[in-house]
Amino acid sequence: MTEKMQNQPMQPSQPWMASVLTLFPDMFPGPLAQSLAGKALAAGLWSLHVTDIRPFGVGVHNKVDDPPFGGGPGMVMRPDVMAAALASASDGLPKDMAKIYLSPRGKRLDQPLVKELAAGPGVLLVCGRYEGLDQRVIDAAGLTEISIGDYVLSGGEMAAQVLIDAVVRLLDGVMGNPMAHQQDSFENGLLEHPLYTHPRDWGGNVVPEILLSGDHGRIAKWRQEAAMALTQKRRPDLWEEWLKSEAKEDQSKGKKLTK
């Protein structure tokens, strides 16, 4: 445990928990054992439970999948097998734990959703392989499908790790400086402004003068404007949303719009 973590306030009796169902248990904790998430895991600031789906398979070979009814390529993970694995993994978990199936068909993971998950007791994460899960077990278990982006991975494990990492860094006591979140991209609806450190002059590339001025008001204004310019250029979708939310805020303050 680092000194910083020892100085953190007391945690609630049960730390935030990730319970993962996977055919590849050796993929966990994987990268989550390193750096910030790994230190927090070792310090008991969150916990990880991994359930191997294979032993719940049927027959002598513990079969977990079968071809899709109606034909088509690949294999589908059987509902009976998944239901048995889910029942075992869910035993003793808080009732209000989010039950998630990582899938490219799901709602896109974003920072507001990450924050929502961080505020709860934890997540049950079902990692699919092959073509995915039989629809009946998704419905029966009330799994929410979540995607980490518009591309297809070979399984849900890495997506689960992305989700866990994004949540864990928001948990109390995990980041040395909790104020650091406030500067994150997406925190205020904008991408983060550019960052600079030593040396001041790197092969003729110099740090913007204003950042050396010590004038916190001007620096904050520069950063806000840089964040706005970056967001407008790179993410017109986010920019439109930000403009709308700013307009709403201005309206609710009863101010005349100036943008």
52, 131, 165, 192: which one is catalytic? 131
Q: 77 and 85 in contact (C-beta within 8 Å)?
A: no
Backbone angles phi, psi at 242, to 5 degrees: -65, -45
184 is catalytic: yes
From residue 97 to residue 126, the character string flagging contacts with ligand ADE as x (rule: CB under 6 A) and all else as - is -----xxx----------------------
Q: Given the rule CB under 6 A, which of 7-15, 146-154, 188-196, 217-225 is the region that contacts ligand ADE? A: 146-154
Q: Which of 147, 164, 174, 223 binds ligand ADE (CB under 6 A)?
A: 147
**Helix, strand, coil share of the chain (percent; to 5):** 40, 20, 40
Q: Which of 10, 152, 195, 257 binds ligand ADE (CB under 6 A)?
A: 152
- Start-to-end CA span in the chain (Å): 49
Q: Is 127 left (phi over 0), alpha (psi -120 to 50) or beta?
A: beta
15, 65, 104, 134: which one is catalytic? 104
Locus of tokens 């920072």: 111
150 is catalytic: no
Is 148 a binder of ligand ADE (CB under 6 A)? Answer: yes
137/174 with CB nearer ligand ADE: 137
3-state secondary structure of 69: coil
Locus of tokens 């994004």: 166
**The one-letter amino acid at 139:** D
131/250 with CB nearer ligand ADE: 131
40/168 with CB nearer ligand ADE: 168
69/151 with CB nearer ligand ADE: 151
Q: 135 and 121 in contact (C-beta within 8 Å)?
A: no
Q: Which active-site residues does the annotation give?
A: 104, 131, 169, 184
Q: Which residues bind ligand ADE (CB under 6 A)?
A: 102-104, 147-149, 151-153, 156, 159
